[in-house]
Amino acid sequence: MVGDRAIVSERFIRWRTIVLAQLPNPITSPAWWQLMNWIADPIGFQDKCSQKYGDIFTMHLSGIGSYVVIGNPQAIGEIFNQDAKFDVGRGNAIAEPLVGRNSLMLVDGDRHRRERKLLMPPFHGERLQTYAKQICLITKQIASSWQVGQSFVARTTMQKISLEVILQVVFGLSEGERYQQLKPLLTEWLDMTDSPLKSSMLFLQFLQKDWGAWSPWGQMKQRQHHVRALLQAEIEERRAKDIKGRDVLSLMMAARDENGQAMTDEELKDELLTILFAGHETTATTLAWALYQIHQHPDVRDRLLHELDSLGEFAPMKIAQLPYLSAVCQETLRMYPVIPVIFPRITKSPTKIAGYLFEAQTALMPSIYLVHYREDLYPNAKQFQPERFLERQYSPSEYLPFGGGSRRCLGYALAGLEMKLVLATILSKYQLALVEDKPVQIQRRGFTLAPQGGVSMVVSAKSI
């Protein structure tokens, strides 16, 4: 028996070696070790691998699969330019337990094009202007409880703001019993993966066992069930009362595809959860990093305040156009990609990228982190220098915080607007300071990367 097992495992190792040998620069450490590193420290792991193997290498994550990690902008440009040659949705199956199988993130081909067409309008163009005032108001309301001398955790407060934005702007909920139930429930649900250890249940299938309310996965499923039931009740009530709001859910319910088909209730719920997961933590975390960097650099803060003052009035859409504020947000997104890699692109047929011919079914994973820290593109890449975005234009494959091609983040315009308006509202009313002088480290939080400890801040002064 032992001999049989040895032969089988030897065959497996030989097979894996052949498969990996066809992919560029395979990492040689065991697959389980690579998975542990990927979960615990995806940034340090990528740093070490790129130093050893260059800007294109292959990692093998035990139980998940092999990925060709790409930190080379030319190669990424080739991928973006050949969108139709790749599937993306099926590579995101890992997110299905959270967002549901109809999620935009999980579908491909015509289905993806249809869903994107239905979902795009509420997040772009004039629609955005209607959300601007709401975002400023939400920020003012949440910050109004701050007292001088009071400390707070920036990420937690930014999460309150971004959750409220999603609830009001997307779900159309700002009061009532359903809103009161959903708010704490969503926070508890999202906080279930707030450390690398807790995040491992998203990556390790053997932890995804529902053994009732005492098991972490059981609790996860229970909360999900509860959230979905509340969303279903909201959809049914709106339909029964023919309520037509200006929020994204109302627009989604009214949208029809080219065949006159509306979205089903399951699709509506899956897309709401997709927007919640994709849009809320990402924006909150980036805002926390922005506050951290702005308060580490008094010159940046002074220049921002000067720019805001020069406007005279507090006009949201003018704020959104301010060049230095925009550069501060861009530099924050460069240094702290909340999602370190974009969605894997899976070749549908043999495809040539960067001189390599990849067989069908190869997963290519462009790395935002590796590109954003290239010294040839961003000199002194470890330093926060917003000016670089005023001095130079970067191509879509050199600067990709929101991914690219046909899968580019659906909410990039909303996220950009929200970041600028929240920062402008807070900076013009409050003087804040960092509680600690030491550097804040990056830590995994679910599928995202966040500041360890969340960035502790204190309110030093308020202006009326």
Which residue ranges make up the annotated binding site for heme? 409
Q: Which of residues 299-338 bind ligand HEM (CB under 6 A)?
A: 338
Site string for ligand HEM, 213-232 (x = CB under 6 A): --------------------
CB of 343 to ligand HEM, least distance (A): 3
CB of 213 to ligand HEM, least distance (A): 30
Pairing verdict, β 363-366 and 356-358: unpaired
Residue 176 has which token pair? 């009532």
Q: Pick from 26, 73, 100, 404: which binds ligand HEM (CB under 6 A)?
A: 404
Angstrom distance (rounded) from CA 404 to CA 294: 27
Specify burial of residue 274 (Cβ count, 10 A radius: 0-12, 13-18, 19+). Answer: buried
CB of 116 to ligand HEM, least distance (A): 6
Q: Is position 263 an interface residue for ligand HEM (rule: CB under 6 A)?
A: no
Q: Of 440 and 450, which CB lies nearer to ligand HEM in the complex structure?
A: 450
Q: Which stretch binds ligand HEM (CB under 6 A): 139-147, 308-316, 398-406, 450-458?
A: 398-406
Dmax of the chain from CA atoms?
Answer: 81
Binding residues: 409
Q: Is position 193 an interface residue for ligand HEM (rule: CB under 6 A)?
A: no
CB of 68 to ligand HEM, least distance (A): 15
Taking a C-beta distance cutoff of 8 angstroms, is the pair 82, 349 a contact? Answer: no
Q: Is position 127 an interface residue for ligand HEM (rule: CB under 6 A)?
A: no
Q: Is position 415 an interface residue for ligand HEM (rule: CB under 6 A)?
A: yes
Q: Is position 446 an interface residue for ligand HEM (rule: CB under 6 A)?
A: no
CB of 265 to ligand HEM, least distance (A): 19
Q: Is position 411 an interface residue for ligand HEM (rule: CB under 6 A)?
A: yes
Q: Which stretch binds ligand HEM (CB under 6 A): 4-12, 67-75, 188-196, 406-414?
A: 406-414
**Looking at the DSSP assignment, which residues form a beta bridge with residue 459?**
432
Q: Which of residues 57-116 bind ligand HEM (CB under 6 A)?
A: 104-105, 116
Q: Which stretch binds ligand HEM (CB under 6 A): 137-145, 149-157, 180-188, 401-409?
A: 401-409
Q: Is position 367 an interface residue for ligand HEM (rule: CB under 6 A)?
A: no
CB of 191 to ligand HEM, least distance (A): 19
Query: Residue type at 123?
Result: F
CB of 13 to ligand HEM, least distance (A): 32
Residue 375 has which token pair? 């010294």
Q: Is position 407 an interface residue for ligand HEM (rule: CB under 6 A)?
A: yes
How many helices (H) and strands (E) would you count in the chain? 19, 12
Query: Residue type at 387?
Result: E
Angstrom distance (rounded) from CA 235 to CA 288: 33
* Neighbouring C-beta atoms of residue 34, cutoff 10 Å: 22
- Three-state secondary structure readout of 367-417: EHHHHHCCCCCCCCCCCCCCCHHHHCCCCCCCCCCCCCHHHCCCCHHHHHH
Within 8 A by CB and 6+ apart from 89, the residues are: 105, 106, 107, 108, 111, 112
- Three-state secondary structure readout of 438-463: CCCCEEEECCEEEEHHHCEEEEEEEC
Q: Is position 402 an interface residue for ligand HEM (rule: CB under 6 A)?
A: yes
Q: Interface with ligand HEM by CB under 6 A: which residues?
A: 104-105, 116, 123, 274-275, 278-279, 282-283, 286, 338-339, 342-343, 401-404, 407-411, 414-415
